[in-house]
Amino acid sequence: MSGGTKQQFKQFKIDNVQDACVVLGRLIAGVVINLEKYKEYSLEATALLENTNEEYINAKQYDDISDKLLYRQHQILKLTADHQSSSFSYIDLRKMMEKKGFLKSVLPQEILIILNELLDVRNWTFHNPQSMLVAAKEAA
With beta carbons less than 8 A apart as the criterion, state whether 31 and 76 touch: yes
Structural domain boundaries of the chain?
Answer: 13-139
Residue 32 clears pLDDT 60, i.e. is over it: yes
**How confident is the prediction for the chain on average, in pLDDT?**
89
Residue 1 clears pLDDT 50, i.e. is over it: no
128 or 55, which is more confident? 55
Q: Taking the model in full, what pTM does it have? A: 0.79
With beta carbons less than 8 A apart as the criterion, state whether 121 and 110 touch: no
- Average pLDDT in the 100-113 region? 93
- Average pLDDT in the 95-111 region? 93
